[in-house]
Amino acid sequence: MAEDFTIGIIGAGMGGLTAAAALQRAGIKARVYEQAAEFTRLGAGIQMSPNAMKVLRAIGLEPALREMAFQPQHQLSREWRSGEVNLDYPFGKVAEDKYGAPYLLMHRGDLHRLLNTTVREEDVLRSKRLVSFDQDGDGVTLRFADGSSDRVSAMVAADGTHSHVRELLFGAADPSYTGKVAYRTTFPAARLGGRSIDDCTKWWGADRHIVIYYTTHNRDEIYFVTSVPEPDWKTESWSATGDLEELRAAFSGFHPTVQMVLEACPQVHKWAILTREPMPAWSKGRVTLLGDACHPMTPWMAQGAATAMEDAAVLSRCVTEAGPRNIEQAFLTYESARKARTAEIQRVSHSNTWLHRSGNTDWVFGYDAWSAPLKEPEPV
């Protein structure tokens, strides 16, 4: 790779950090610009399925994740009131043998902290909110809210659902609100007073559900995330808290295990669930999008961060193959290799049927971003 060729990545979230790590491991200079001044461990769990774990393995995180995270033996799909099991889906060794990587559950903040260690410290710049950019035949000039600017050879925007870069490239269009909110939190398992939960269960009601699982190897922390109708709530913020009594009332008829968990929980965050239709294009010239910036999805299939990580791996392969002189071509190959898969996952996630009563998970968990075919871009 040419000495001075550098890719600027906007956003040090799940996708941005993974992309930086993958590019740096491939010998490509990458620098990340993040608007936040610091990161905090806010209450949220995250599921890392085998397709994501294959990406994380290649950037060196598998041993630390195995030590820290919880490996469920199965996921149960249960009826909301009776607890009747509609599906007992094997994870544990069965999934690991089948897909070549484990299915792990963890705290999102712990995963983020580990992802941070995969990128050289001096290459993650904080308090850098991108406000505008210009591109020409040689590179991209980035401008930040603090008045500073920087010049990179190409830019990857991993700036999330409300991507400012997406808006600058393709015009403003708000994501659509699903009419559902996610209450979510993590809390010490000791608050259950010696009682326990299943490894990982999704409790299905007619118009709402709740997913409950452990997030640590030694089962000392519990996480839940809900989907509850609420037509008028539009706030999507890590700091927005929910009303515990409203949450408990929303699940009042549910099985006693659900009531037990909600009773034990000390506080919750509340998050509007947004989505967007698949986009026809992700790239323009030397700029492309990655992760939620180009394919935000409902969390109901637990694939948002996983697909952002897949994007990162495929992007690093495309840039390596095409070389710095052909970066525009590399971005087109990347989006053409990724668009159909992410659009299908967006669609299935939105239908909220994943692992309800049956399911073939091969096409999702069996995907290996390091060896999946790279399609040629369609002619314009």
304 part of the interface to ligand FAD, by CB under 6 A: yes
292 part of the interface to ligand FAD, by CB under 6 A: yes
For residue 158, give the amino acid letter: A
316 part of the interface to ligand FAD, by CB under 6 A: no
14 part of the interface to ligand FAD, by CB under 6 A: yes
Name the catalytic one among 213, 214, 223, 334: 213
Q: Which is nearer to ligand FAD, 40 or 82 (CB)?
A: 40
- 213 annotated active-site: yes
Q: Which is nearer to ligand FAD, 159 or 198 (CB)?
A: 159
10 part of the interface to ligand FAD, by CB under 6 A: yes
Whole-angstrom Cα distance, residue 338 to residue 335? 5
Binding residues for ligand FAD restricted to 93-132, rule: CB under 6 A: 128-130
> Which H or E element spans position 300?
none
Near ligand FAD by CB under 6 A: residue from 28, 30, 46, 155: 46
CB of 47 to ligand FAD, least distance (A): 4
Q: Which is nearer to ligand FAD, 161 or 336 (CB)?
A: 161
Binding residues for ligand FAD restricted to 135-164, rule: CB under 6 A: 158-160, 164
Stretch that binds ligand FAD, among 90-98, 304-312, 319-327, 348-356 (CB under 6 A): 304-312
| Region for residue 355 given its phi and psi (left: phi exceeds 0; alpha: psi -120 to 50; beta: otherwise) | left
Smallest CA-to-CA distance from 307 within 58, 48, 109 is with 48
Q: Which is nearer to ligand FAD, 173 or 190 (CB)?
A: 173
Where does 205-299 show beta strands of DSSP type E?
209-214, 221-229, 236-242, 268-275, 283-284, 287-289
Stretch that binds ligand FAD, among 4-12, 72-80, 195-203, 325-333 (CB under 6 A): 4-12
Near ligand FAD by CB under 6 A: residue from 153, 303, 336, 342: 303
Q: Cβ distance 258 to 210 under 8 Å?
A: yes
Near ligand FAD by CB under 6 A: residue from 299, 315, 336, 361: 299
CB of 326 to ligand FAD, least distance (A): 25
308 part of the interface to ligand FAD, by CB under 6 A: yes
221 part of the interface to ligand FAD, by CB under 6 A: no
Catalytic residues: 213
Per CB under 6 A, residues contacting ligand FAD are 10-16, 33-36, 46-47, 128-130, 158-160, 164, 182, 184, 225, 271, 291-293, 299, 302-306, 308
